[in-house]
Structure formats: C-alpha cells, structure tokens
Amino acid sequence: MARSAAGGSVITLRPGTVEDIPSFVELGRAVVPPTYGPIDEAYAQRMLDEWWIPAVFEKSLARNRHLVAERDGEVAALATFGRLTESYRDFPDVTGEREVMWKLYVHPAHQGLGIGSRLLAEIEALVEGDELWLEVVDGNDRAVGFYEAHGFTEAERSADPRWPDDVWFKKVLG
Ligand SMILES: CC(C)(COP(=O)(O)OP(=O)(O)OC[C@H]1O[C@@H](n2cnc3c(N)ncnc32)[C@H](O)[C@@H]1OP(=O)(O)O)[C@@H](O)C(=O)NCCC(=O)NCCS
C-alpha cells in the first residue's frame, strides 16, 4: 500500500491481521489513557478492559477492515471501518445501514505527523457508500477539531447515564 514521508521517516499503510493483535493492545495502552482519562478515568479503563483486548480484536478482524500505519516499520496507528450491521456491538438508537469508521488511533509519539489524515483519506476512498460516519466520545475535543477540519459534522447523540455521550459525526463523500 501507499508510502509517504513524515518528519523524515517513512509511513506505510497496510491491512491489519491477527498477527498485529499484540501491537494493537500495546497501542491502546499508550493512547487510550491520555485521550480518555481526562474525560472520565473509569471510562478509559473500561475501554482498555472491554474493547482493547485480543478477543475483541479477533472478532473485529473477522468482521471489519483494519488499516495499520507503520512508521519506519513500527505500528504507529490503527484505523478500522465497516458497515454498522456487521458490527459485533448493538446500536439500539440507530436505524438503517451506515458505513462507520470504528477506530482511528495514532500512538501519541506519532501524532501530528499527518498519519491520522492519511488513514482517514484511505478509508474515505475505500468505503462503498456516499457517507462515512464515526462516533466521538463527548469531551474528546481534539478529535472533534480534527474531524471538523476534515469535513465531518455532528449528526446524532447517544446518551447512557453511566458514561459520557457518544456523538455521531457524518461526512458526505464527494
Ligand atoms: C485525532 C487523531 C486521530 C489525529 O491524527 P494525527 O495523525 O495526530 O493528525 P494529523 O497529523 O493527520 O493532523 C492533520 C490535520 O488536522 C489538524 N488538526 C488536528 N487536530 C485539530 C484540531 N483540534 N482542530 C483543528 N485542526 C486540527 C492539524 O492541524 C492537521 O492539519 P494540517 O495537516 O493542515 O496541518 C490523533 O491525534 C489521535 O489518535 N488522537 C487520540 C485518539 C483519538 O482521539 N482518536 C479519535 C477517536 S474518535
């Protein structure tokens, strides 16, 4: 897959496989606490315990597409996407089908180099529908700024009294 240079290093995008699962778990441990800890520490821990674990990656690899960005041969970021109805999660608040980017996570050591933008552009080119959706945890203002700068707008909100809201963003692909 495509290569590019960032900060003097080489960025390569490739599909993720089950062999990447240990790297995905490690990426979660590096990126989830600084991203979600300031919003809700218990929620950040729940994410690591329930979602960033090998068993969940095995399920998601079987159902969704995974894109890995490597920087100089090291896993630097993960993005995943697929149809809502193919998710292993339930979405009682949502009706209809949608193409969703489930994850976009760049390791803190590699943020701000254009890797997130590269992964997003690749996914926009790969999805089949004419819209791309994603969920942002309420309070993740940096991610909201990033997505708004890339043409996404807030569309819906799912509330759960125990946790921060999930905010759905949508982009119409041109
Ligand atoms: C949000 C995230 C995916 C962005 O990826 P990244 O590789 O760091 O971002 P990039 O280097 O590609 O940034 C690209 C552009 O977005 C812009 N941008 C980033 N954050 C922004 C913000 N808060 N407001 C406005 N623009 C922003 C940058 O200025 C940059 O623009 P430029 O290329 O024109 O200078 C990454 O920082 C990350 O993984 N964060 C933690 C995990 C997370 O929150 N993931 C999203 C879960 S929904």
CB 64 within 8 A of CB 81: yes
For residue range 8-17, what is the model confidence (pLDDT) as tens digits?
789 999 999 9
Backbone angles phi and psi of 107, in degrees to 5: -55, 140
Q: Name the nearest CA neighbour of 84 among 70, 95, 72.
A: 95
CATH of the domain at 124: 3.40.630.30
Paired tokens of 9: 């290093």
**Beta-carbon contacts of residue 43 (< 8 Å; ≥ 6 apart):** 36, 137, 163, 164
For the chain, how many structural domains are there in total?
1
Query: How many angstroms does the Cα of residue 1 sit away from the middle of ligand 1?
Result: 22
Biggest CA–CA distance in the chain, Å, is: 46
State if residue 116 touches ligand 1 by the CB under 6 angstroms criterion. Answer: yes
Q: Which domain holds residue 168?
A: 3-172
Q: What is the pLDDT of residue 87?
A: 85
pLDDT of residue 7 exceeding 70, the answer is no
Query: How many angstroms does the Cα of residue 115 sit away from the middle of ligand 1?
Result: 9
State if residue 4 touches ligand 1 by the CB under 6 angstroms criterion. Answer: no
Paired tokens of 70: 């490597």
Query: How many angstroms does the Cα of residue 105 sit away from the middle of ligand 1?
Result: 10
Q: What is the pLDDT of residue 2?
A: 61
Paired tokens of 119: 């992964």
State if residue 11 touches ligand 1 by the CB under 6 angstroms criterion. Answer: no
- Residue 47 exposure: Cα atoms within 13 Å on the Cβ side: 22
**Beta-carbon contacts of residue 159 (< 8 Å; ≥ 6 apart):** 165
pLDDT of residue 76 exceeding 70, the answer is yes
Query: How many angstroms does the Cα of residue 6 sit away from the middle of ligand 1?
Result: 14
State if residue 105 touches ligand 1 by the CB under 6 angstroms criterion. Answer: yes
84-42-56-148 Cα dihedral, nearest 10 degrees: 40
Best of 146, 147, 152, 167 to mutate for ligand 1, by most ligand atoms within 8 A of CB? Answer: 146
pLDDT of residue 148 exceeding 70, the answer is yes
